[in-house]
């Protein structure tokens, strides 16, 4: 069983290795590396040379450059490329040998992961996707809000300007009338003198939201009925209206087991 | 008498016939009958070779759930393995395991040894004549993790890919042979399935062997077994898991014992790492006391100058 002789334990020279944080920085000198013994053992266990590849299914893949283990992304990429290269080579060999290797679409068999597990995986993927979409939506809404604010400010400025212009034009009109000595005084309500911009005065027919047509306060006045209603609702929610009255003081299973209010040291009311 | 002789003659004739026919008889497979040419090829390569690898997979007592799941994942991946109940991890476990392997008529063994509930060691052994390797297992991710989205047939034979630096030195060569024998599913194993849809990666990086398992998804549909160039280009892999990283500690000549053939010169046991960490953290109080006395000494050595304005506002 243990026929290996230990006659030439070659002490390993420090093979050029870069040191890692968990590794010894320098190779320990006493470490055994019996190369002859290793090769001997390899000869013992290895299969005969003539064994067909189909028994082994193994490939050696060259890697272009040294893998940096601490760079997760590149490390995984290196493994992935190794696997992909291997799979491609294997498939070409299978194809050359005319062997079946692709699973037909109607071949159902037990899989490594159960359907329940795969359902979970799918659920997670969907949840992730949904989360991303939601975040996107939120971001869009935020942007929209910002934009809306800007537009609002612009509108207000425009409105102010319009008002100023209107007042100015009325003043001008008055001045003109004065200059002309109230010429058309007798003609009843003649407003035919044009304003500056050529338009005669007209009411803007824009409707404002939340303002009733006859409302002169611009929707800022108190809405008597609604207001009162709201107050009533608030009071109802605060002091209670309707519903059972008595049960509030009754003990439940939770409250009986709740000893937070009880203290041994505090004097209890008898 | 004559009758008897006749009988024997016919039997002999039958035998002769059988011998002539036997190699020519097409073998039955799932798809019908195997082609003759294929059979011939097999016979050419290695007459009489049959891979009868059987792996015993077991673990020590008090193994943590994560490592146990890893072991179960491997059991799922290796259709040619036998799982056994837990084994007490003590000094004499080697002989016990050897016996167990023989009892279950296996010829190799994967033994997951968990120490202190946090360090996982993996023994890979060829029984009964060795060699055996002890690894420290790092960076374990089991198949249950939801990030690994692939899936493949249970029992389909894996393709093994090794990075080219396995041929650098003798111990890597030995490990490669060991791994390819243990992880490769024997051809025509009764539990194996006739298609290939996953690939194992064994890669050496930073003196560790990294393991990955990918599902091969070729964008191929239909029943024909032909892949053109475009399909090859389009082929993608999806990781199935598990993931782990093996750090070889020692290679022994026998199974679970025997002369040491190789020792990792860079290996530091997790116990030493932890104790170093602890030592670095320790001595907080002693440091404080030291600092205090040092400060006192410093103050005594360098007294402050007398402040001439000290009692200026006293009066």
Nearest to B266 by CA among B165, B171, B201, B174: B171
Among partner residues A33, A59, A67, which is closest to B205 by beta-carbon distance? A67
Give the ipTM of the model, two decimals please: 0.77
**Shortest CA distance to A89 belongs to which of B235, B205, B44?**
B235
Dihedral, A74, A76, A77, A82 alpha carbons, nearest 10: 130
- State the pairing for strand pair B236-239/B208-217: antiparallel
Work out the average pLDDT over B96-119: 93
Residue A70: pLDDT above 70? yes
**Which of A62, A112, A118 is most worth mutating to test chain B (most B CB atoms within 10 A of its CB)?**
A112
Among A56-70, A81-95, B16-30, B177-191, which stretch is predicted with the lowest mean pLDDT?
A: B16-30
Please report which confidence band the pLDDT of residue B204 belongs to, taking 50, 70 and 90 as the band edges: very high
User: What does the pLDDT read at residue B42?
Assistant: 45
Minimum-distance CB partner of B173 among A27, A42, A107: A42
Contact yes or no for A24 and B160 at CB 8 A: no
Q: Cα angle vertex B186, ends B180, B192, to 5°? A: 120
Residue B62 makes CB contacts below 8 A (sequence gap 6+) with: B114, B117
Among left, alpha and beta (phi > 0; psi -120 to 50; other), residue B142 is: beta
The reported pLDDT for the residue numbered B154 is 92
Q: Which residues contact B72 (CB under 8 A, 6 or more apart)?
A: none
Bridge partner residues of B202 (DSSP)? B162, B211
Mind listing the pLDDT tens digit for each residue in A82-126?
A: 999 999 999 889 888 888 888 888 888 899 999 999 999 999 999
User: Residue B308 forms beta bridges with which residues?
Assistant: none
Q: Locate all alpha helices (DSSP H) within B196-283, ordered by sequence.
A: 229-234, 270-281
A185-227 pLDDT tens trace: 544 444 555 555 555 555 555 556 666 666 666 666 655 556 6
pLDDT (0 to 100) of residue A167: 95
Give the residue, B90 or B43, on which the prediction is more confident: B90
Alpha helices by DSSP H, listed for chain B, are 2-21, 36-45, 65-77, 93-103, 170-183, 229-234, 270-281, 284-301
A–B CB contacts, 8 A cutoff, strictly below: 267
Nearest CA to A196 out of A165, A158, A162 is that of A165
Residues B33, B281: Cα–Cα separation, whole Å: 70
Burial grade of A257 (CB within 10 A; 0-12, 13-18, 19 or more): exposed
Q: Compute the mean pLDDT over every residue in chain B, rounded to the nearest whole number.
A: 84
pTM of the model: 0.67
User: Does the distance separating the beta carbons of B153 and A112 come in below 8 Å?
Assistant: yes
CA dist B84 and B112 (Å) reads 11
C-alpha closest to that of B184 among B59, B57, B79: B79
Give the nearest chain A residue to B254 (CA atoms).
Answer: A2
Q: Which of A28, A45, A99 sits opposite B265 (nearest CB)?
A: A28
B110: nearest Cα among B255, B267, B264, B258? B255
Q: How many CA atoms lie within 13 A of A25 on its CB side?
A: 1
A24: chain B residues, CB-CB within 8 Å: 265-268
Q: Is B101 left (phi over 0), alpha (psi -120 to 50) or beta?
A: alpha
Whether A21 has a pLDDT exceeding 70, the answer reads no
Q: In A, which residues are within 8 Å of B256 by CB distance?
A: none
CA distance B301 to B290: 16
Q: Residue written as tokens 């199935």? A: B240
CB-based contact B146 A33, cutoff 8 Å: no
**Structure tokens given for A135:** 């975040």
Task: Tally Cβ neighbours within 10 Å of residue A135.
Answer: 10
* Chain A residues within 8 A of B216 when measuring between CB atoms: 87
Neighbours of B218 (CB within 10 A): 19
Q: DSSP label at A13?
A: P
Answer whether B268 sits within 8 Å of A20, measured CB to CB.
no
The whole-angstrom separation of Cα A56 and Cα A47 is 10
What does the block give as tokens for B240? 């199935």
CB B216 within 8 A of CB B199: yes
Question: Distance (Å) from the C-alpha of residue A86 to the closest C-alpha of chain B?
Answer: 6
- Helix/strand/coil for A199: coil
What are the CA-CA distances from residue B170 to residues B47, B96, B123 (Å)?
28, 29, 19
Cβ contact, residue pair A103, B265, below 8 Å? no
B258–A83 C-beta distance less than 8 A:
no
Q: Which of B170, B217, B218 to mutate to test binding with chain A, by most A CBs within 10 Å of its CB?
A: B170
Q: Which of A44, A61, A113 lies nearest to residue B161, judging by beta carbons?
A: A61
């Amino acid at each position: 069983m243990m026929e290996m002789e230990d006659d030439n334990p070659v002490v390993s020279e420090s093979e050029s290795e870069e040191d890692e944080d968990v590794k010894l920085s320098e190779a320990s000198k006493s470490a055994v590396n019996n190369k002859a013994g290793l090769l001997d053992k390899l000869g013992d266990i290895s299969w005969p040379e003539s064994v067909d590849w189909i028994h082994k299914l193994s490939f050696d893949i060259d890697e272009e450059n040294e893998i940096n283990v601490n760079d997760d992304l590149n490390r995984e990429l290196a493994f992935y490329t190794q696997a992909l290269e291997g799979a491609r080579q294997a498939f070409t060999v299978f194809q050359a040998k005319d062997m079946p290797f692709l699973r037909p679409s109607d071949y159902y068999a037990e899989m490594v992961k159960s359907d329940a597990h795969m359902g979970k995986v799918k659920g997670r993927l969907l949840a992730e996707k949904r989360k991303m979409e939601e975040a996107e939506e939120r971001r869009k809404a935020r942007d929209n809000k910002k934009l809306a604010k800007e537009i609002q400010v612009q509108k207000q400025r425009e409105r102010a300007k319009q008002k100023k212009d209107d007042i100015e034009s009325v003043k001008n009109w008055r001045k003109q009338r004065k200059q002309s000595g109230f010429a058309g005084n007798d003609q009843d309500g003649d407003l035919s003198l044009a304003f500056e911009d050529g338009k005669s005065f007209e009411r803007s027919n824009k409707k404002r939201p939340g303002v009733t047509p006859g409302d002169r306060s611009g929707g800022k006045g108190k809405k008597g009925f609604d207001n009162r209603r709201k107050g009533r609702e608030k009071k109802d929610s605060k002091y209670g209206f309707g519903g059972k009255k008595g049960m509030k003081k009754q003990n439940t299973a939770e409250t009986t087991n709740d000893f937070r209010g009880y203290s041994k040291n505090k004097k209890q009311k008898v | 008498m004559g009758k008897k002789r006749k009988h024997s003659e016919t039997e002999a004739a039958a035998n002769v016939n059988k011998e002539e026919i036997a190699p020519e008889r097409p073998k039955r497979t799932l798809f019908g009958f195997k082609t003759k040419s294929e059979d011939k090829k097999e016979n050419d390569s290695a007459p009489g070779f049959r891979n009868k690898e059987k792996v015993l997979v077991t673990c020590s007592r008090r193994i943590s759930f994560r490592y146990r799941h890893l072991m179960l994942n491997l059991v799922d991946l290796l259709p040619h393995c036998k799982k056994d109940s837990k084994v007490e991890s003590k000094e004499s476990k080697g002989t016990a395991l050897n016996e167990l392997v023989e009892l279950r008529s296996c010829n190799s063994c994967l033994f997951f040894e968990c120490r202190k509930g946090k360090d996982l060691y993996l023994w890979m052994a060829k029984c009964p004549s060795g060699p055996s390797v002890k690894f420290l297992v790092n960076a374990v991710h089991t198949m249950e993790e939801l990030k690994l989205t692939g899936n493949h047939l249970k029992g389909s034979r894996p393709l093994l890919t090794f990075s080219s630096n396995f041929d650098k030195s003798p111990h890597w060569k030995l490990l490669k042979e060991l791994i390819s024998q243990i992880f490769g599913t024997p051809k025509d194993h009764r539990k194996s399935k006739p298609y290939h849809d996953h690939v194992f990666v064994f890669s050496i990086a930073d003196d560790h062997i990294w393991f990955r398992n990918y599902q091969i998804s070729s964008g191929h549909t239909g029943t024909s077994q032909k892949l053109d160039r475009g399909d090859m280009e389009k082929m993608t892999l999806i990781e199935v898991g598990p993931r782990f990283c093996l750090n070889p500690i020692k290679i022994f000549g026998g199974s679970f014992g025997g002369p040491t053939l190789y020792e990792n010169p860079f290996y530091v046991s997790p116990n030493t790492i932890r104790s170093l960490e602890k030592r670095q953290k320790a001595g907080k109080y002693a440091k404080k006391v030291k600092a205090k006395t040092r400060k006192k000494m410093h103050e005594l050595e360098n007294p402050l100058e007398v402040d001439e304005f000290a009692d200026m506002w006293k009066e």
